[in-house]
């Protein structure tokens, strides 16, 4: 009995030592794999394919970081997290970064001591309802039963929306997206609410996606992005600039198709040269190889390629770029310069 307690204490001490050690970047390099927290399965953002290989928009960010740090986009351990477990997993050091369509909010950034490194998808909370329900606006939902993922900002937005519009509803808290889908399809709730992108992804997996509509109201701002622990600025820089590299690559027209060619020798565009490491020492400043950004972009393509391949209009999820177009095309996706 006493032995178990002692071993327990030792194990806890070991864990806390791991969490408290200084550099995540060094840890990842030493370990040889990146522990990346993702969803438990949201097609288009992060879900294992038929062969069990994780793919999706958020998975693409994890793979890019792994490629930048380790030079190998497959050196990622994907750790599925629920809305409830994700922050504990990150804070305890179980994962190195979280790329799980997580909304950047003040309290998560400041109070929970996390560092959002950027925004990879500008989202908003919407409602999915069956066409047969005959609802055209979320304000018609008075008295409706609403499925909502628990432990998310959507839960709070939902309460605020119905309260400010002075209409009533009955929440059905659910743990995972799959559970929400099951209850929604069985009619146990009238409408399902989460980020509009997630709803589109969920609807794409339905047997008859055409029987369901996304209501026009977007009731919140949901800037989604990868995050890391607060206080490890070197690691935050690596993740932040990997994301920025993907965005800059789209802006500069660097794609997975032409990157080999562009990286082979310095081009006429100095920023491309700095990005791809054929000029300057940006990689060294991050503590990475000079070709870090090239590896990251080659892993899954630039931001636009990742978007089109996983959630774009030609995929079953069919999301338009909208707010997530490049700033040069009227969107909000914008990276600080590589200089």
Partner 1 sequence: MSAISDPPRGSFSPAMLINDTRYRSYTFQALAAIVLALCLGFFYLNVSTNLAAAGLNISYDFLGSPAGYDINQRLIEYDSQSTNARAAIVGILNTLLVAFLACVTATVFGVLAGVLRLSNNWLVSKLMAFYVEIFRNIPVLIWILIIFTIMIAVLPGPRAFRGDEPEARMFLDLVAFTNRGVYTPGPYFTRGLGAEGNGAINWLIVIGVLVASFFATRMVTSRANATQEATGIRPNTLWTNLAIWFLPVIVLLFVLGLKWDIPELKGFNFAGGIKVGGPLIALWFALSIYTGAFIAENVRAGIQAVSKGQTEAAGALGLRPGRIMSLVVLPQALRVIIPPLISQYLNITKNSSLAIAVGYADITATLGGITLNQTGRAIECVLLLMLFYLTISLLISTFMNIYNNAVKLKER
Question: Is residue 22 within 8 Å of residue 261, measured between CB atoms?
Answer: no
| Chain positions contacting partner 1, by CB under 8 A | 2, 5-6, 9, 12-13, 16, 19-20, 83-84, 87-88, 91, 107-108, 111-113, 132-133, 141-145, 150-151, 155-156, 158-160, 162-163, 169-175, 182-183, 186-190, 230-231
- Residue 301 tokens read as 């393509």
Q: Kindly state the smallest distance separating residue 108's Cβ from partner 1, in Å.
A: 8
Residue in 328, 241, 252, 318 with CA at minimum distance from that of residue 287: 241
- Of 69 and 135, nearer to partner 1 (C-beta) is 135
- Of 76 and 147, nearer to partner 1 (C-beta) is 147
* Coil vs helix vs strand at 214: strand
Q: What are phi and psi for residue 168, nearest 5 degrees?
A: -105, 160
- Of 107 and 208, nearer to partner 1 (C-beta) is 107
Q: Kindly state the smallest distance separating residue 259's Cβ from partner 1, in Å.
A: 39
Q: Kindly state the smallest distance separating residue 65's Cβ from partner 1, in Å.
A: 22
Q: Kindly state the smallest distance separating residue 150's Cβ from partner 1, in Å.
A: 6
The C-alpha atoms of residue 40 and residue 156 are separated, in whole angstroms, by: 22
Question: Is residue 49 within 8 Å of residue 56, measured between CB atoms?
Answer: no
What residues form DSSP beta bridges with 103? 224
Question: Contacts by 44-50 with C-beta closer than 8 Å and gap 24+?
Answer: 44/197, 44/200, 44/201, 44/204, 44/310, 44/311, 44/315, 44/316, 44/317, 44/319, 45/101, 45/197, 45/198, 45/201, 45/310, 45/311, 46/78, 46/99, 46/100
- Of 190 and 250, nearer to partner 1 (C-beta) is 190
Q: Kindly state the smallest distance separating residue 172's Cβ from partner 1, in Å.
A: 5
- Of 193 and 242, nearer to partner 1 (C-beta) is 193
Q: Kindly state the smallest distance separating residue 104's Cβ from partner 1, in Å.
A: 15
- Of 207 and 261, nearer to partner 1 (C-beta) is 207
């Amino acid at each position: 009995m006493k032995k178990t307690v002692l071993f327990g204490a030792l194990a806890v001490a070991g864990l806390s030592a791991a969490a408290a050690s200084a550099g995540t970047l060094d840890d990842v390099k030493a370990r040889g794999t990146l522990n990346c927290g993702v969803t438990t399965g949201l097609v288009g953002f992060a879900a294992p394919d038929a062969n069990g290989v994780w793919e999706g928009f958020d998975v693409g960010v994890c793979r890019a970081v792994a490629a930048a740090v380790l030079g190998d986009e497959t050196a990622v351990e994907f750790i599925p997290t629920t809305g409830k477990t994700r922050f504990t997993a990150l804070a305890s050091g179980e994962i190195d970064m979280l790329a799980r369509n997580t909304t950047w909010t003040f309290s998560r950034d400041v109070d929970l001591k996390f560092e959002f490194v950027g925004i990879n998808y500008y989202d908003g909370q919407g409602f999915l309802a069956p066409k047969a329900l005959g609802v055209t606006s979320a304000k018609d939902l008075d008295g409706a039963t609403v499925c909502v993922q628990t432990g998310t900002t959507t839960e709070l937005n939902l309460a605020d929306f119905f309260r400010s519009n002075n209409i009533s509803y009955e929440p059905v808290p659910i743990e995972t997206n799959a559970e929400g889908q099951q209850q929604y399809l069985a009619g146990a709730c009238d409408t399902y609410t989460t980020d509009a992108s997630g709803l589109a992804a969920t609807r794409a997996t339905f047997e008859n996606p055409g029987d369901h509509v996304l209501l026009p109201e977007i009731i919140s701002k949901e800037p989604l992005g990868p995050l890391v622990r607060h206080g490890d600025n070197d690691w935050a820089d690596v993740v932040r600039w990997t994301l920025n590299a993907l965005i800059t690559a789209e802006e500069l027209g660097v794609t997975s198709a032409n990157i080999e060619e562009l990286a082979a020798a310095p081009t006429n565009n100095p920023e491309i040269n700095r990005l791809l490491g054929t000029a300057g020492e940006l990689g060294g400043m991050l503590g990475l190889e000079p070709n870090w950004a090239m590896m990251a972009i080659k892993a899954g393509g630039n931001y636009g390629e990742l978007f089109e391949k996983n959630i774009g209009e030609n995929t079953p999820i069919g999301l338009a770029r909208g707010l997530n177009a490049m700033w040069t095309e009227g969107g909000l996706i914008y990276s600080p310069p590589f200089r």
